[in-house]
Amino acid sequence: MIFWCSFDSEALIASSHETVPHGIASLIIGAPAQQSGSRACPGMNLRNVAIIAHVDHGKTTLVDRLLQQSGAFRENQRVVERALDSNDLERERGITILSKVTSLTWQDTRINIVDTPGHADFGGEVERILNMVDGAIVLVDAAEGPLPQTKFVVSKALKVGLNPIVAINKVDRADARPSVVASEVFDLFAALDASESQLDFPVLYGSAKEGWMAASAEGPKVSMAPLFELIIRHVAPPMVDVGPFRLLGTILEANPYLGRIVTGRVTSGSARPNQAVKVLDRSGNLIESGRITKVLAFRGLERQPIEEAVAGDIVAIAGLPQATVSHTICTPEVEGPLPAQPIDPPTLAMTFRVNDSPLAGTEGQKVTGRMIRDRLFREAEGNVALRVSESAEKDSVEVAGRGELQLGILIETMRREGFELAVSRPQVLFGRDPKSGELTEPIEEAVIDIDAEFSGIVVQKMAERKGEMLEMRPSGGGRLRLVFLAPTRGLIGYHGELLTDSRGTAVMNRLFHGYAPHKGEVQGRRNGVLVSTEEGEAVAYAMWNLEDRGPMMIEPGSKVYRGMIVGEHTRGSDLEVNVLKGKKLTNIRTHAKDEAVRLTPPIRMTLEKALAYIGDDELVEVTPKSIRLRKKLLDPNERRKEVRRQEAQGVGSD
C-alpha cells in the first residue's frame, strides 16, 4: 500500500544545538509527529530533488542562488561562492566530485536538494542519488546544449521513472541559443525512449549567475521564484510504504567522530537513536546487527542531530560499522532487502606502488606500503565506483575506477595528505563475451567541438586510434561537433594532443558507451625519452648542450637520479644522457657571450598529463612537492635485460 505524506513544521526543530562536524553526504529530513502511512498531515510539505547536468553547466552556482533567495543565509552572513563545493580540489577545478546535499524552505514547503557530479567518472554517485529523490532538475547550458554527461545523467533519471524539469542556464551568454537547445533536449529525451509524460517536460530559462529564472528567455529577470514554484507544483511528495523501518543505503561517508555514516531515504517506518536494527545485503544475507547511535539531518549547510525520522525523509545514520551502499538497514523483524541497482563496473586500472626512487622519503611523511594500502582500502569503503585489490607485484596495490579523472583525483588527494607513491600507466580492463568467448574492451563516446579548419587532423588522429565517426554537424560560430565511438585505450593521453592540434580551441567530452570486440593494436607514444645516467642536481650548461636531442621536462638545479626521465627524445628510441656535466674551465680567456646560457622553457607536467604520457615500462613518482617521471627499472643494465627477455618471449609465442 502506498500513500502520499507531508510533515508537521513544528517538529523540524532539532532537540540539540550541537553541530556535528560534517562531511559530504547527509541530507535534511522533514520531521515526525506521526506514524508512517498516514494519509495527510497539516503543515509543511516535503520535496526531494536532485540537480543533474553536464560538468560546468552551473549546478552548484544554481544551488547558491536558491539558498540565498530562500533565506537560508542571514543578510550579513559571509558565504563563499559555490558553497557546496567544499573540497579544495572541487574549488580549484570548478567541478563537483562528491554529491552534496542541502535543505531550504519555500512557502511552508521544505525542499531537499542534492548537487550531483556532472562528470561520468563520478557517475556512481549520480545513479544512487536518483533512487532516493522524487524529481530532478536537468540543467543545460544555453550555448553548448546537451553534452555527453547530460545524456548520461538524463538516461539514468528516465530509467528510474523521474519526470524531470529542464532549466536552460546561462542565457546571458553572447553565443546563447536557448530555443535551439530546448529542441535539442527534446530530441535527446526522445532518443532515450522517454515516456509520454516524461516528454511533456516543463522548461525554464535563466541565469543562475544573475539569479533569475523565467518561462521565457527574455524574462522577467527578477528572481528564482518561478523555479521554486515549479518544483512544488511538478515534483510529487515522497511515496511511503506501510510497515516497519527500512532504509536503503545510498551515500557512504567516514566521519572521524561518529565512524561510518550511511545516508538514504526512509522507505517505511521511523528511525530513532538507540533503535535496534540489522543490515542486509542485496541478496538478503545478514551483514551485522546493532543500534543506531545518531540520526542526522541538514539545516541549510549545517548538519544537526534529530530525535526521529519518518518515512519519506532522507537521513544519515551512524553506528553501523559494516553497512555500505546498496545495503538495507531495517528493524530485526524485516526479512527481505530493498531492491538496489548494481553499480557500473570500472573500466580502467592502475598500480599504486611504494616509491623506491633514491629521493624517496625526502618530501612526504607517509611512504610505507602499509600506509598506502590502508589509505586505499579506506577510500574504497566510501567510494563504491572504486575497486581496490592486492597486486601480484611486491609492495603494490591495484586500483580500478571509472576513468582517468577519478583516479587522478584520488592520487592528488593522497598527495596533499602527505603520501609519496609511484603509479603505473592506466590499463584498460578487458572482458570476455559470454557467448563467443571473444575478447572485448570498453568503448567510449567522444564528442569533440572544434573550429572547422582543424577538423581534418582530428578525424585523422581519431582514425589512427581506432575511432569510428558517427556524426559531423555544425554547432554554430564556424565550429563543428564531431561524434566518435573509440576504444578507451586509444583515448588515453589524446586530450593534450588534441589541444596541440587545434591550438587550444577544441573541447572534448567522453562517456562510457559499452563493451565491444577488441579493435586491434593502437599506436602509443611515438617519441622516446631522455633518461638520466647520474644522480645529483641538473646543470644548465649540460641541458643547453642537450637541447638538440629534444625538449626538457626539468629546470636547472632540479634533483635528478639514474633512471629518471628528464626530457623527450626527438626520435622514437630512448636516449641516456648526463644532465650533470658542467663546463670544463681553462685559463684561456673567452668572450662573455660564451658564458650566457639561454634555455628553452621546459615541458610542464601536470599529474593527468604525466599519467597519460608514460609508457608501460615507466612510472609517475608523486610526492607532496613534485611530480617526476621515471623508468620502472632504474638500472640501465636491468632495462636492457628486460627488453631482451620480452623479445625472446615474443619470438617464442610466434
CATH number of 46-238: 3.40.50.300
Buried b / exposed e over 45-56, threshold 16 CB at 10 Å, is bbbbbbbbbbbb
Residues 6+ apart with CB under 8 A from 519: 441, 466, 487, 489, 490
In this structure, are residues 447 and 482 in contact, taking their beta carbons and an 8 Å threshold? yes
Residues 6+ apart with CB under 8 A from 309: 29, 31, 32, 266, 270, 271, 272, 295, 297, 315
Burial zone of 460 (CB within 10 Å; 0-12 exposed, 13-18 middle, 19+ buried): exposed
- Kindly give the parts of the chain with pLDDT less than 70: 1-44, 55, 71-100, 117-127, 148-149, 300-301, 341-344, 382, 586, 588-596, 650-654
In this structure, are residues 265 and 312 in contact, taking their beta carbons and an 8 Å threshold? yes
The pTM of this model reads 0.69
Query: How many CB atoms sit inside 10 A of residue 436's CB?
Result: 9
Residues 6+ apart with CB under 8 A from 646: none
Cis before 220 (ω within 30): yes
Report the DSSP beta bridge partners of residue 611.
none
In this structure, are residues 242 and 100 in contact, taking their beta carbons and an 8 Å threshold? no
Q: What nine digits make up the cell of 630? A: 621515471
Between CA 295 and CA 285 the distance in angstroms is 24
Q: What nine digits make up the cell of 526? A: 611515438
For residue 31, give the nearest of 6, 48, 64, 60 by alpha carbon. Answer: 6
Between CA 461 and CA 157 the distance in angstroms is 34
Between CA 48 and CA 116 the distance in angstroms is 13
Between CA 105 and CA 571 the distance in angstroms is 64
62 by DSSP, 3-state: which?
helix
The residue length of the chain stands at 654
Sign of CA dihedral 147, 149, 152, 155: negative
Between CA 510 and CA 149 the distance in angstroms is 8
Instruction: Quote the pLDDT of residue 592.
Output: 54
Instruction: Quote the pLDDT of residue 17.
Output: 34
What amino acid occupies position 406? Q
For residue 336, give the nearest of 238, 239, 243 by alpha carbon. Answer: 243
Between CA 295 and CA 245 the distance in angstroms is 13
Q: What share of the chain is helix, strand, coil (3-state, %, to 5)?
A: 25, 30, 45
Sign of CA dihedral 29, 33, 35, 38: negative
Report the DSSP beta bridge partners of residue 529.
568
Burial zone of 601 (CB within 10 Å; 0-12 exposed, 13-18 middle, 19+ buried): exposed
Between CA 131 and CA 239 the distance in angstroms is 12
Q: What nine digits make up the cell of 237? A: 511528495
Condensed to tens digits (0 to 9), the pLDDT of residues 593-621 reads: 555 678 888 888 888 888 888 888 899 99
How far is CA 159 from its chain centroid? 21
The beta strands (E) that lie in 249-383 are given as 251-255, 259-268, 270-271, 276-280, 286-291, 294-299, 302-305, 309-310, 314-318, 328-330, 348-353
DSSP letters, 269-298, are SEE-TT-EEEEE-TTS-EEEEEE--EEEEE
Report the DSSP beta bridge partners of residue 590.
none
Residues 6+ apart with CB under 8 A from 153: 52, 53, 54, 116, 118, 123, 126, 138
Between CA 54 and CA 190, with CA 507 as vertex, the angle to 5 degrees is: 45
566 by DSSP, 3-state: which?
strand
DSSP letters, 26-54, are -------SS-TT-S--SS-EEEEEEEEES
Burial zone of 86 (CB within 10 Å; 0-12 exposed, 13-18 middle, 19+ buried): middle
Specify the fold of 431-517: Alpha-Beta Plaits (3.30.70)
What amino acid occupies position 521? E
Give Cα separations from 133 to 96, 127, 149, 195, 250 (angstroms).
19, 11, 19, 19, 11
299 by DSSP, 3-state: which?
strand
Q: Where in the chain is the domain with CATH 3.40.50.300?
A: 46-238
For residue 383, give the nearest of 215, 253, 268 by alpha carbon. Answer: 253
